Amino acid sequence: MMESRTTISIPSLVRIKSRALEKLGIYCKRSEFPSVAVISSSDIPADIMSSAKESLASANVQTSLWFNCVEASFEQAQSIFVSLPGDVSAIIGIGGGRALDVAKYVAFLARLPSIALPTSLSNDGFCSPNASLSIGDRKRSLPAAMPFGVIIDTDICLAAPEHLWFSGVGDLVAKLTAVRDWKLAFHATGEPFNDFAALLSDATVSQFISRPVKDLEGVRLLGTSLMLNGIAMEVCNSSRPASGSEHLISHALDRICTRPRLHGLQVGVATYVVSRLQGYQSDIISRLFGECGFWNAIKSDPFSRSEWLEAARLAPSIKNGFYTVLSSRDCVDEIHSILEDDAVLTDCFVP
């Protein structure tokens, strides 16, 4: 599951602040990237696109390639890699998860540094050692390099649609149950456990819990927390600090749902359900979701209870050799009771 490492890669450039996009060109120039390739989301707002182009041009940073990313596929990443001009010194990803994953993987193929500039904070993928790409009709997590730089413009992320904020909160809080599952795996199977990675992962949630407010400071805290959790995965060369049984349930939902929701929304609700199975930190998770408005967002578009029960049956088989609380016993009846009877989940599910 984990391999020992003599070195780890962490971002050298980190800017999480207001109006950071305006200094993109300056950051590239300071990092000695005279020519860059930019991979952006196809639906990125025009003002963000213009600001990025103006910033690069004002610092005399040449944009050798600008590609609008429509899909996060291995085939698209490979095509961009083949077409990269020879003078490119760095890859910049701007936008949502698809563009950032493609940019990260293109940089990995080209052995070039990358800069991640997310325009929303819906998950921790912008700073992780993996890229989530589709190959054919199946999504895969492929090894990639950590970004050289992370630039989070808090004004831009604050203005992103609110459901993306809630998705990021859900993905962050999942670290609580993920680390708990990791400890269960250590005791049940002897799977190696990295204390520092686990500590870092727990700390990322704790700093956000102290102030779960959607404003510029809240965006800074959420962005910092998600970034540090990506680094926790790099520390131990494993997804364990960030992903446990709650992610297995979400992956199962992606396969069987008639209408899958945002990753972090699914994961967030699954985190609470799993915390009940684990008997660990359910009150903290419930209170946080109530304070930040997460539960109200779920209730405005409830999940299908029958699909969640089907996902619960499928989840333990999603990832072979990945021990979680779902491996310790048959949890389907318990999950059924939680979905039916837990007052916290009232109005979060329809039949």
CATH classification for the domain delimited by 162-350, as one of 1.20.1090.10, 2.40.33.10, 1.10.10.10, 3.30.360.10: 1.20.1090.10
Confidence of residue 71 (pLDDT cuts 50, 70, 90): confident
Distance from C-alpha of 32 to C-alpha of 130, rounded to nearest angstrom: 25
Q: How far apart are CA 58 and CA 22, in angstroms?
A: 10
Domain residue ranges in the chain? 13-159, 162-350
| Mean pLDDT within 129-138 | 85
Rg (CA), the chain: 20
Fold annotation for 13-159: Rossmann fold (3.40.50)
Six-digit token string for 224: 């910092």
Name the DSSP class of 73: B
Rounded percentage of the chain residues whose pLDDT exceeds 70: 98
This prediction has a pTM of: 0.93
Over range 138-166, report the average pLDDT: 93
| Residue 6: band (very low, low, confident or very high) from pLDDT cuts 50, 70, 90 | low
Burial bucket for residue 114 (CB in 10 Å: 0-12, 13-18, 19+)? buried
**Residue closest to 294 by CA, chosen among 324, 267, 320:** 267
Give the helix, strand, coil percentages of the chain, each rounded to 5.
55, 15, 30
Residues 6+ apart with CB under 8 A from 202: 175, 176, 179
Query: DSSP E strands: which ranges in 241-299?
Result: none
pLDDT tens column, 243-298: 999 999 999 999 999 999 999 999 999 999 999 999 999 999 999 999 999 999 99
Q: What is the mean pLDDT of the chain?
A: 94
Tell whether the model's pLDDT for residue 2 goes beyond 60.
no
Q: What string of DSSP letters covers 150-166?
A: EEEEHHHHHHS-HHHHH
Rounded Cα–Cα distance for residues 262 and 220 (Å): 21
Interatomic CA distance for residues 189 and 172, integer angstroms: 26
Give pLDDT, residue 171. 96
Return the axis-axis angle of helices 195-209 and 162-189, rounded to nearest 10°: 150
Sign of CA dihedral 58, 127, 212, 298: positive
pLDDT in tens, 90-112: 999 999 989 999 999 999 999 99
Q: Could you tell me which of 231, 246, 134, 226 has the C-alpha nearest to residue 179?
A: 246
pLDDT tens across 188-203, in order? 999 999 999 999 999 8
CB atoms < 10 A from the CB of 295, how many?
22
Backbone angles phi, psi at 93, to 5 degrees: -105, 130
